[in-house]
Amino acid sequence: MERRQRRREEYRRGLRPLAVAAWNITKEHNVGSLVRTAHAVAAEEVVLVGERDWNVEAARTAELFTTISQVPDQEAFRRHIAAAGWNLVAVELHERAVNLFEAEYPERPCFLLGAELGGIPEDLVEDAKIVVQIPQWGLVPSLNLAVAGSIVLYDYLAKLFKRGALARPEGGLSSIGGDLAGPGDDPDHTA
Ligand SMILES: C[S@@+](CC[C@H](N)C(=O)[O-])C[C@H]1O[C@@H](n2cnc3c(N)ncnc32)[C@H](O)[C@@H]1O
């Protein structure tokens, strides 16, 4: 079997039971950045909600290895996460939100990020098991959504690590050190 194919299979064997979702993102580079982080943390899937066709070029080939599902609206999204057994975590600036530093996440989390303008619809925030807000100390009221998603994903992994529940905390594929280690597939892994 080709080395590239073996690396893909090895990557998929190491997928973690977590998902990332985005509500009606309008900017292509934000979709790409989110997919790239989802790929880095070995998320099982990325769910894009909305009718748009996205160009995920900014994902730098991560879109080739990470499952990306697209659903048209809130109802389809609800059905999708129920069928997959995901527990919704809304990442949002919201009165119901808990501070990131105090957040305790459910099992099988699906981290939902909101649109650049308007954020996550209130109905979906209400559906969430937990709403997480990243504290800020600046004058600009919000973070870029892909940055916010990345911070929360790594906070989740850090909390798993502290409980001794994070597989492969050093990173890499599960056969790290073997002939599958190394950047291999990514033509631009330094970007
Ligand atoms: C640019 S913000 C949306 C800003 C604003 N709520 C609005 O309605 O235009 C886009 C998304 O990034 C995420 N986000 C940004 N800053 C955040 C923070 N400090 N805590 C949690 N989520 C944040 C949320 O998912 C939010 O919906």
Over the chain (191 residues), what is each successive 10-residue block's mean pLDDT? Answer: 84 96 92 94 96 70 85 97 98 98 98 96 97 98 97 98 96 64 42 41
Q: What is the pLDDT of residues 107-121, one digit of tens each?
A: 999 999 999 999 999
Q: Determine if ligand 1 sits within 6 Å of the CB of residue 140.
A: no
Helix axes 145-162, 28-40, angle to 10 degrees: 10
HEC letters along 138-191 = CCCCCCCHHHHHHHHHHHHHHHHHHCCCCCCCCCCCCCCCCCCCCCCCCCCCCC
Nearest ligand 1 atom to the CA of 136 is 19
Q: Considering the domain 3-162 in this protein, what is its CATH number? A: 3.40.1280.10
pLDDT at 60: 65
Domain ranges of the chain: 3-162
Helix or strand holding residue 69 (H, E): strand 67-71
pLDDT at 190: 37
Instruction: Yes or no: say if 7 and 180 are a contact pair by the CB < 8 Å rule.
Output: yes
pLDDT at 56: 65
DSSP 3-state assignment of 55?
A: coil
Q: Determine if ligand 1 sits within 6 Å of the CB of residue 31.
A: no
Nearest ligand 1 atom to the CA of 142 is 16
